[in-house]
Chains A and B, each alone.
Chain A
Amino acid sequence: MFAYILRRLAATIPVMLVVAVLVFLMLRLTPADPAAIIAGDNANAEQVAEIRKRLGLDQPIMTQFAIWVTKLAQGDLGESFFFKKQVVELIADRLEPTVSLAVLTIIIAAMIAIPLGVIAAYKQGSWLDRIVMGFSVLGFSVPVFVIGYLLIYVFAIQLNWFPVQGYQRLSQGFGGWLQRLILPAFTLSVIYVALIARMTRTSVLEVMNEDYIRTARAKGQTEMKVLVRHALANAAVPIVTVVGLGIALLIGGVVVTESVYTIPGLGRLTVDAVLARDYPTIQAVILLFSLVYVVINLAVDLTYTIFDPRIRY
């Protein structure tokens, strides 16, 4: 297994290189000019050119790329054009809100979706099954920001149960942290509840007619044990895959959710950086997201060995 992990990690290097090249080129091909944005509306051409020179944007693209990759290889993500802060510092500052949101979202989604999926499978064809599946379709169809605004209107403005926006660091208190994250996490979890519930239902349905389920019942085990220990455990591999993919997909979700709820996480950093054409920050964040995606996929593959001992690497 150790050799397998090493091989997989080694395989991330070319992936990251391709991502690096693509991100770098795509940014340079977009029409906007960070120097003009930084200079402001009253700046003349000379001032813009001076800033461009300071940022190194007057050099050929290949030279810029070589400088960036060389620094990257040394672990230097560069300095933000705008904030005059090291990008690594910016990212470190934004990591906690995003990780908090992502983890809470997945916990909420899994807590709701897996039982719902199991119940829907057990009650296949019943009204409960139809409601769960109907909700799934709705969850897939409604955009995250619409759900966000609806929840804000009801729970923050009308009922005044939660704050409208903002984030409180975990170090400032668990209560405030949770209070500010509940609505965003519920907002973001809707699509994952739909996704995981559907996958759980399908997977459980597939195993419910297996011999070992019949055997377990014949041994006199309670339905709960049959359901959890035998059915759910054997249906876990595809569910774990979906949850893993969900974490990766969250990257896209947090961008919108963080913007709606004004959470200073990596999602908002990405939006701000893109709007301002802050090349070093965009490049670093996208590389980080790619790395997270690759690592999560690896982690998902490794968890297969836990749920299915037949799988060996």
Chain B
Amino acid sequence: MSLTSRAASALLSHLRMGLSRAVLALSALFFLSAILSAGSAHAEKTLRVVMHSDVKILDPIWTTAYIVRNHGYMVYDTLFAIDANGEVKPQMVDKYDVSADQLTHTFTLREGLLWHDGQPVTAEDCIASIKRWGAKDATGQKLMSFVASMEATGPSSFVIKVKQPTGLVLVGLGKPSSNVPFMMPKRVAETDPNTQISDFTGSGPFVFKRDEWKPGDKAVYVKFDKYKPRSEPASGLAGGKVVKVDRVEWRAISDHQQAINALLAGELDFIEQPPHDLLPLLKADSNITLIDVNTMGNQYVLRPNWTAKPFDDARIRQAMIYAFNQEDFLKAVIGDPEYYKVCKSYYPCGSTNYSTKGMDGLLESNFKKAQDLLKEAGYDGTPIVLMHSTDLQVLTNLAPVAKSLMEKAGFKVDMQSMDWQTLVARRAKKDPPSAGGWHAFITNWIAADIGNPIFQAFMNSACDKALFGWPCDAEMEKLRNDYALETDPAKQKAIAELAQARAAQVVTHIPLGQWFQPSAMRKNIAGVLPAPAPVFWNVEIK
């Protein structure tokens, strides 16, 4: 054996011994840590959850982001809430009365409601909270425009007087999605609506553990022992909010595949939004259950920019609604018909205001009609700047479908790819599309946000005061106002139908179909409630 061989052998032998020792030592450590962690797992019931996003902001009035709304439902309570049937029910409120002339609304809070710091919830707290929400939220602003006064009539009762009868009082205070009118202590609610709150005291069923909040890692909520649930069974966002776990941890796992791996391995209990293309992995595992929490689902929409030529001409916008069909969009993203539904309505199929009024002949890929409209409007081949979001799986495949259908109709389309955050910034610009502006983009709304003409932010047609896209239509604004003032549900629906017909006629936006997002959880998790927002009361670990 040569010298070099001997040296190599000696080194290899050393290595082998070293590795063996290392493996032994590591094995011992793993066993030890496994025993220790197993011991602590039984100490308290912790629900380990991955939400659709990390919680970065903690003020549900300051931002409309859904993840912050979800955080709000953990920490705060609401005066009213909608149940599983979409009906507004009292939540913090015990008694509610409206005067015969429908101008005076009287509220009495339930007894025993406490803030997380042990102080009682008062009427003053609620008035301050409504004011802050009313200054920030679009529905709140509309409601406040009808309000003459808000006054506390006792420690736990208050009165809202309105200038004219409106159905918006309960609809607004029971608004299920962003911005939700969450109740906060007066000292917190008096924070400028444009400044984030820094005190996270709520009166909801969970207490936010600020000291354990690690942005980008996890947010922790513990059961509020002094919370007094309603006596009714939990239903949607309403009813008794009975907490059956000690602690809920929202883990920030941005990689979908890893979140699913962790769920399969038992390191997680619940994933709010697993991507559709990975659902077969979950279905194949007997320890996993898929549940559709948001039973009304979501709706894809295309938003045209009314201020950008040639989309300032209604006929050009109409050409799109004739050229499109929902099935193509839904197949391209969701794929599995189990999770999508063609729904030719501006309101979700299955919702109170669902209707097909004004939708005849639309969304059927009638290219001939679309071409005729373009010709009639004198479309000169100006490229349509279609913003294409590439980093959100639920949106990525939509713009190419739109481009294809629009080109078949005779449009010239300039599809520009970008990440969602760039799109968010760009859609706020009114510059000409050739100078950094835009003509159209596709996004998604959850059903709870589009249930009526007031909630539907894209139906707002108040020109410069409307959302990006800035539709400008006095008739639509009149219909929205009529809806807000109407108190009879049947008449409200009739107005909603007229608003839909108008939206389709002037093309404020185009509904591209309804789809459903199942959540995934391990089989030992029970009691997850179907609701417009994911909530964790009533959930138990078996």
Contacts and interface: CB of A to CB of B under 8 A. Distances in A.
Interface of A: 30-33, 36-48, 50-51, 54, 80, 82-85, 90, 93-94, 111, 115, 118-119, 122-123, 128, 149, 152, 156-157, 160-161, 163-167, 173-176, 178-179, 182, 217, 223-224, 226-227, 259-262, 264, 268-269, 271-272, 275-277
Contacts of A179: 29-30, 33
B7 to A, nearest CB: 3
A262 B26 contact: no
Given A50-B194, A166-B267, 19 more contacts: A31-B436, A36-B425, A36-B428, A40-B63, A40-B64, A51-B194, A83-B215, A84-B58, A84-B198, A115-B14, A119-B11, A123-B4, A123-B5, A178-B29, A224-B11, A262-B255, A272-B254, A275-B419, A275-B421
User: Which DSSP category, helix, strand, loop or mixed, fits chain A's interface?
Assistant: helix
Contacts of A115: 11, 14-15
Interface string B28-57: 011011001100000000000000001011
Given A44-B467, A156-B261, A178-B29, A276 B253 contact: no
Contact of B63 (A38, A165, A182, A262): A38
A155 to B, nearest CB: 11
Contact of B264 (A50, A157, A224): A157
A164 B63 contact: no
Contacts of B467: 42, 44
A9 B254 CA distance: 38
Contacts of B65: 40-41
B428 A83 contact: no
B491 interface: no
B465 interface: yes
A31 B425 contact: yes
Contact of A165 (B18, B56, B258): B258
Nearest to A156: B265
A37 B421 contact: yes
A30 B425 CA distance: 10
Interface of B: 3-8, 10-12, 14-15, 18, 26, 29-30, 32-33, 36-37, 54, 56-58, 63-66, 68, 136, 138, 178-179, 194-196, 198, 214-218, 251-255, 257-258, 261-262, 264-265, 267, 418-419, 421-422, 424-428, 436, 443, 449, 457, 464-468
A304 B105 CA distance: 81
B74 to A, nearest CB: 18
28 contacts: A31-B422, A33-B428, A39-B64, A40-B178, A42-B178, A42-B179, A42-B449, A43-B64, A45-B468, A48-B428, A84-B198, A119-B12, A149-B257, A157-B264, A165-B258, A173-B33, A175-B30, A179-B33, A224-B10, A224-B11, A262-B251, A262-B255, A264-B252, A268-B254, A272-B56, A272-B215, A275-B419, A277-B421
B269 to A, nearest CB: 14
3 tightest CB-CB pairs across the interface, nearest first? A175-B33, A40-B64, A223-B7
A227 B216 contact: no
B105 to A, nearest CB: 25
A54 B179 contact: no
A48 to B, nearest CB: 6
A184 to B, nearest CB: 12
A33 B424 contact: yes
Contact of B425 (A37, A82, A90, A119): A37
A51 B195 CA distance: 8
Contact of B261 (A83, A84, A152, A227): A152
A185 to B, nearest CB: 12
A217 B3 contact: yes
Nearest to A262: B253
Contacts of A223: 3-4, 6-7, 10
